[in-house]
Amino acid sequence: MTNLTQVDKYLETHLDESIAELSTLVAQPSVGAQNWGMQECARLVGQMLARRGFNVEIMPTGGAPVVFAERKGRSNKTLLFYNHYDVQPAEPLELWDTPPFEPSLRDGKLYGRGVSDDKGHLTARLHTIDAILAADGELPCNVKFIIEGEEETSSVHLHDFIRENKQKLAADACIWEFGGVDHREVPMQYLGLRGICYVELSVETASIDVHSGLGGSIFPNAAWRLTWALSTLKGPDERIRIPGWYDGIAPPSARDRELMAAQPDLAEEYKSRFGVKGFLKGLTGGVELALAEVFEPTCTICGLTSGYQGPGSKTVQPAQASAKVDFRLVPDQTPERCLALLRAHLDEQGFSDVKITFLGGEPAARTDPDDPFVKIVVDSAEEIYESKMEMIPMVGGSGPNHPFVHDLGLPVATAGLGYPDTRAHAPNENIRLDLYLKHARHMARVMYQFSE
Ligand SMILES: [Zn+2]
């Protein structure tokens, strides 16, 4: 563990410079959804890496460019950092205490759109690299960055980009774009993400809405067609009724169960936070609730639209009906296979008229909790956070980790500067400078230990 004292000293004494660099990056808007500033931000990120001796390529995709950067180090091991330079829209602007693209430092926190998600993660890692270069003259291992510009808009081109650039992206391990501490200040290691298959189901039974006195007994009703179709997808027992849906799904392992059992029981917190009286399938809490939350496929009606919903009554037969439905996927379900199963099921049930529009998806992926790289990230966190990093084998949300795990064959570990009040995607997004520094110190330890 060479020069860690010097590295730490550098990180502390040059923190202001790193925060200034982050502020410059945040002041460059890069709102993917509004296609605002994407090329400019990619260029700025490229310059930041080039200044540190990285070979940088700004690589086009079908959407926002990917910034790829590489710098050789002492050992022949390669660490890949995945980050993104795009941010969520800042609206509603009136709810920000200071303008979202004018970073503002107060009470040990930096406020601005993207400070946490994900620009702060990027500059904290660059800060680590500066400190190591200052203390050591070279990096302990090869370092690559893949920084995409479409993370907040479902990473639509990332899978193809990774498949087409496997050689370039070859590495031994990957640090994910986010991470952080929970409400107890305990650092968390998230080892897997569920997949997703998001669809819109729609029916059109006539070219215009019809008087219900005329059409009620002789015309098909779009709202009924849709609700009948939806009712075939899942039963009151919560089991998804699409044939083949559960084929090839591996149940949680004994190790998953052990890791989940080590987590606090959230049953009471869920009840008070969300006002639910109980849980599905007779679950009451504990490890069974925790496992069911993330290791089971879901079929969620996210929204339903049809006919008249205004005040009073309107006797009308709707011509159109639609529903947004998301299916969360577990290993080894894929959106492609699920779409095919859904189509076959609807046809078989007599609903060929229900149109499926695929709105996006990705398969689930997870990293082995006992991978040696995970051990390095977890063990090296303890000294920094003065608390053991907790391992969560799987979380319920989704993200583009599948091509990293399955196409590049990498263990993917999370580490970062997030905390519960970071307000990512919301007004007054902020980071705590103490956690920024901790993340940079943590990354230095990971890089040295990984290189040994
Ligand atoms: Zn985000």
Provide the CATH number for the domain around residue 174.
3.40.630.10
- Tell whether the model's pLDDT for residue 1 goes beyond 90: no
| Domain's final residue, options 316, 334, 362 | 362
| Domain's final residue, options 346, 362, 378 | 362
Q: How far is the CA of 31 from the centre of ligand 1 (A)?
A: 11
In a domain, 256, yes or no: no
pLDDT above 70 coverage of the chain, percent: 100
pLDDT above 90 coverage of the chain, percent: 97
**Domain count across the chain:** 2
Q: How far is the CA of 151 from the centre of ligand 1 (A)?
A: 7
Q: How far is the CA of 2 from the centre of ligand 1 (A)?
A: 35
Do 214 and 185 share a domain, yes or no? no
Q: How far is the CA of 224 from the centre of ligand 1 (A)?
A: 37
Strand partners, 305: 322
Q: How far is the CA of 117 from the centre of ligand 1 (A)?
A: 5
Domain of 238? 195-249+297-362
Q: How far is the CA of 89 from the centre of ligand 1 (A)?
A: 10
Q: How far is the CA of 114 from the centre of ligand 1 (A)?
A: 8
In a domain, 281, yes or no: no
Q: How far is the CA of 43 from the centre of ligand 1 (A)?
A: 21
Q: How far is the CA of 87 from the centre of ligand 1 (A)?
A: 7
pLDDT tens digit sequence for 396-409: 989 999 999 999 99
Nearest CA among 134, 105, 80 for reference residue 23: 105
In a domain, 261, yes or no: no
Q: How far is the CA of 143 from the centre of ligand 1 (A)?
A: 24
Q: How far is the CA of 118 from the centre of ligand 1 (A)?
A: 7
Q: How far is the CA of 212 from the centre of ligand 1 (A)?
A: 45
Q: Which pLDDT does position 28 carry in this prediction?
A: 98
In a domain, 288, yes or no: no
- Tell whether the model's pLDDT for residue 244 goes beyond 90: yes
Q: How far is the CA of 450 from the centre of ligand 1 (A)?
A: 28
Do 393 and 408 share a domain, yes or no? yes
Provide the CATH number for the domain around residue 225.
3.30.70.360
Q: How far is the CA of 424 from the centre of ligand 1 (A)?
A: 6
pLDDT tens digit sequence for 9-31: 999 999 999 999 999 999 999 99
Q: How far is the CA of 78 from the centre of ligand 1 (A)?
A: 26
Q: Which pLDDT does position 3 carry in this prediction?
A: 84
pLDDT tens digit sequence for 266-324: 999 999 989 999 999 999 999 999 999 999 999 999 999 999 999 999 999 999 999 99
Q: Which pLDDT does position 72 carry in this prediction?
A: 98
**Arithmetic mean of pLDDT over the chain:** 96
Q: How far is the CA of 271 from the centre of ligand 1 (A)?
A: 26
Do 334 and 434 share a domain, yes or no? no
As a whole number, mean pLDDT of residues 89-107 equals 97
In a domain, 236, yes or no: yes
Do 200 and 186 share a domain, yes or no? no
Q: Which pLDDT does position 2 carry in this prediction?
A: 63
In a domain, 277, yes or no: no
Q: How far is the CA of 51 from the centre of ligand 1 (A)?
A: 27
How much is the pTM?
0.92
Do 86 and 157 share a domain, yes or no? yes
Q: How far is the CA of 417 from the centre of ligand 1 (A)?
A: 14
Q: How far is the CA of 6 from the centre of ligand 1 (A)?
A: 33
How far apart CA 390 and CA 20 sit, in angstroms, is 32
Do 242 and 208 share a domain, yes or no? yes
As a whole number, mean pLDDT of residues 186-209 equals 97
Q: How far is the CA of 84 from the centre of ligand 1 (A)?
A: 9
Q: How far is the CA of 348 from the centre of ligand 1 (A)?
A: 39
Do 327 and 344 share a domain, yes or no? yes
Do 340 and 201 share a domain, yes or no? yes
Q: How far is the CA of 390 from the centre of ligand 1 (A)?
A: 22
Do 225 and 135 share a domain, yes or no? no
Do 245 and 313 share a domain, yes or no? yes
Q: Which pLDDT does position 250 carry in this prediction?
A: 86
Q: How far is the CA of 425 from the centre of ligand 1 (A)?
A: 6
In a domain, 260, yes or no: no
Q: Which pLDDT does position 450 carry in this prediction?
A: 98
Q: How far is the CA of 86 from the centre of ligand 1 (A)?
A: 9
How far apart CA 304 and CA 320 sit, in angstroms, is 11
Q: Which pLDDT does position 159 carry in this prediction?
A: 95
Residues 6+ apart with CB under 8 A from 250: 331, 332
Do 212 and 329 share a domain, yes or no? yes
Do 221 and 105 share a domain, yes or no? no
In a domain, 150, yes or no: yes
Q: How far is the CA of 199 from the centre of ligand 1 (A)?
A: 21
- Tell whether the model's pLDDT for residue 82 goes beyond 90: yes
- Tell whether the model's pLDDT for residue 38 goes beyond 80: yes
Q: How far is the CA of 25 from the centre of ligand 1 (A)?
A: 16
Q: How far is the CA of 149 from the centre of ligand 1 (A)?
A: 11
